[in-house]
Structure 1
Amino acid sequence: MLAPTALEHEEARRIKQEEMIHECNLWEDPAKSNEILIKLAGSAKAIDALKDLKYKLVEMEAINYRLFKQAYTASLDVRKLLDQYEMSRLLKGPYDKQGACVVIRAGSKGLNHEIWREELLNMYVKWAEKLGYKGRLVEKHTSMHGGIESATIEFEFECAYGYLSGERGIHHKINSQNGSVHHEVTTAYVDVVPLFLGTGFDFQIDDEELIVSCSPSLLRDGKSRTEMTVCLQHIPTGISVQSSGERSHFANKVKAHNRLKAKLLVIAEEQKVCDVSSIRRADIVDEWQKETRRYVSQPYKLVQDVRTGIELPDLNSILDGNINTLIGAHINIRHTE
């Protein structure tokens, strides 16, 4: 801290000594001249030393800043790991440790709704990336505008279902331009089912209980995937699923069966019944009637989580994948219930 002040002081002294040399005749008083020259040399030496010290201090500050930045980043990483650990400890459900299959579907038609589904898709993908994982986009159906009609992502890492199961339901984006009382609301439906990692199912679905059909989904290249898209409906419960992301009809049928089984297991668990055959169709919750979250973009930015009551002001941060606060709140609610 004193080095810059000392350097300024020595440079001022040298300037004064140089002025004295110019003002006096060196030949008239050799002794005084010699004294001035010695002081000038000493001052120059001190200035060089102080400059060297100043440069070293600047280097040390840069090193200290880098060390501080590394320590701060490390502390954030540690905090993130601790938060993940604390959340994972609360995941007590029978399927919470499994991977997750997230399906984003149309709430309504229109370009704005398609753009909203794209934003939700990116939000979940970025969330996984921030945890050090990747989401595998297995299905993406685009409209004639190029927007998303529906998309399916698979997260093949432990606890993904436990983290994301609270995301099921309707996600509204609300926009009110110029303070108008008329809100533009865009909607998307998010479904989440377990993706079993290395474990099989302990029950089979009889063919008599299924309706199998195909839907004419089209890809961007214009080639029909009708012959490969498989839709299954479970007759006793009315639950339906679809798979179109695999390379063959058979592979899509297997994937659709697995998704249907996973959905039925979750419903059985929610109804506290011993097996899938005991599911009460009348008691199945209609997820299309369940609002999960509101994302307000105008006239102010706010994210409102309907079930937990949490409100967060940074909409852009949430859409950038920073949803752990919301996920943690849902996990805490499930734990207390």
Structure 2
Amino acid sequence: MADISRSDIEALAERLDEVESYLHISDRRAEVEELERAGARPGFWDDAEAASKTMARLTRAKEDVAGMEAARSDLGDVEAAFELAEELEDDQLYGEALELFHALEERLSELELASWFTEDLDHGDAIVTITPGQGGLEAQDWCGMLFRMYLSYCERRGWKATINDAPPAEVIGLDRATFTVSGKNAYGMLRAEQGVHRLVRISPTDAKKRRQTTFAGVEVLPVLPDDVEVDIDPNDLRIDVYHASGHGGQGVNTTDSAVRITHLPTGTVVTCQNERSQLQNKAFAMNILRSRLYERELARRAAELDELRGPKHEIGFGNQIRSYVLYPYQMVKDLRTGMETGNVDSVLSDGDLDKFVVGYHRWMLGEEG
């Protein structure tokens, strides 16, 4: 008999009820009806900006309702498969029931996760910046490895990643990497990655093949909606243009398309060079600058540690949130939650990060509770 019982299915059904309660699905159904009526009214699209916001709310509400309805349907399939397996005493059918059971568990985990994101910005897009820390050339290589890991993670989750700035270092890796992630709950999910990441391995640049410890910092910011006001005086900006390098295609170095914006009062510097157009690079850079200045203002008003970026630490020893050990053994371990895996390749090469991201949010829910 496959490893599944009636009590397992009953427990999963109870969990589904709890998630439906967390997500207020009955309210979401009512919201869908209300927003659909609003969208059908004459003149709805006269105010295009307001209409777009309404349609975005409608899409999100529909996704929540559809997700729960699909989960209910999956539960019915699990129950039917299990009952048939019991009736026929068929191990193959038990196996199919177990497969459906695990698929429903995964769907519920996604729904559960969405219920934890209560801030509006959590549901939106994210700006991720990776910066080399202690470790010299090794840190630049580590920056490139993390960059590829996150691009793989975005692909796994069906998110779109737009590279804003990723200039190659002179010898190995990247000087830095900034990219925008677009997708459902991207900012809420990726907040888990904010902090210092530590790599331990045999150095590929050391002729004596000595073990090296390297660090890189990951910053995660929300992409601000247009209706969030950030007061930026154009006179406070210094805008420099220069030849782009790295990503962007063969023509990337033929014009001064790369843009560097310095906010003089705060010393905040943002660069963007991935687009061929100087205007596009400037627009991307301004979006990133808005997010960073918004974050600074939140910190100033609250007079406490920055809630979006977390504590600001040196990118080095003693401050890491996660360790990636390739030698003398293989292990990725999150130092906040205790979550770990020995399958390092699945994390670094395939972007299999959900166990760490979901584990962090579950841990935070317990901390806040």
Change (3 A) 1:242 1:117: same
TM-score scaled to structure 2, two decimals? Answer: 0.60
Tell me the SS of whatever aligns to 2:253: coil
Match of 2:353 in 1: 323
Shift of 1:211: 3.1
Q: What residue identity is the alignment partner of 1:205?
A: I
CA contact (8 A) 2:193 2:220 kept: yes
Match of 2:155 in 1: 129
TM-score scaled to structure 1, two decimals? Answer: 0.65
Q: Deviations for 1:284-336, whole angstroms, at most 9, x for unmatched residues?
A: 83564652321111111122323334343332232222222221233245444
Partners in 1 of 2:179 and 2:338 — Cα distance?
Answer: 27
Shift of 1:222: 8.2
Q: Calculate the aligned-residue CA RMSD, in Å.
A: 3.5
**Structure ID, larger Rg:** 1
Shift of 1:225: 7.0
In structure 1, which of residues 63, 81, 99 is the aligned counterpart of residue 107 of structure 2?
81
Q: What residue identity is the alignment partner of 1:321?
A: G
Partners in 2 of 1:109 and 1:214 — Cα distance?
Answer: 27
CA contact (8 A) 2:260 2:269 kept: yes
Shift of 1:163: 0.6
Match of 2:229 in 1: 202
Q: What is the number of residues matched between the two proteins?
A: 263
Match of 1:218 in 2: 245
Match of 2:257 in 1: 228
Shift of 1:258: 0.9
In structure 2, which of residues 115, 120, 143 is the aligned counterpart of residue 117 of structure 1?
143
Change (3 A) 1:175 1:248: same
Match of 1:238 in 2: 267
CA contact (8 A) 1:91 1:331 kept: no
Unmatched tracts of structure 1, length 5 or more: 1-62
Match of 2:71 in 1: none
Match of 1:40 in 2: none
Change (3 A) 1:223 1:318: closer
Residue correspondence of structure 1 range 158-169 to structure 2 within 5 A: 158-169=184-195
Shift of 1:193: 1.6
Q: Deviations for 1:80-109, whole angstroms, at most 9, x for unmatched residues?
A: 221122122112234211111222233354
Change (3 A) 1:268 1:89: farther
Identity of aligned residues (%): 26
CA contact (8 A) 1:193 1:262 kept: yes
Q: Deviations for 1:118-140, whole angstroms, at most 9, x for unmatched residues?
A: 33223222222332334333443
Q: What residue identity is the alignment partner of 1:189?
A: G
Change (3 A) 1:308 1:212: farther
Partners in 1 of 2:198 and 2:157 — Cα distance?
Answer: 25
Q: What residue identity is the alignment partner of 2:234?
A: D
Partners in 2 of 1:165 and 1:304 — Cα distance?
Answer: 17
Residue correspondence of structure 1 range 262-281 to structure 2 within 5 A: 262-270=291-299, 272-273=301-302
Partners in 2 of 1:174 and 1:137 — Cα distance?
Answer: 27
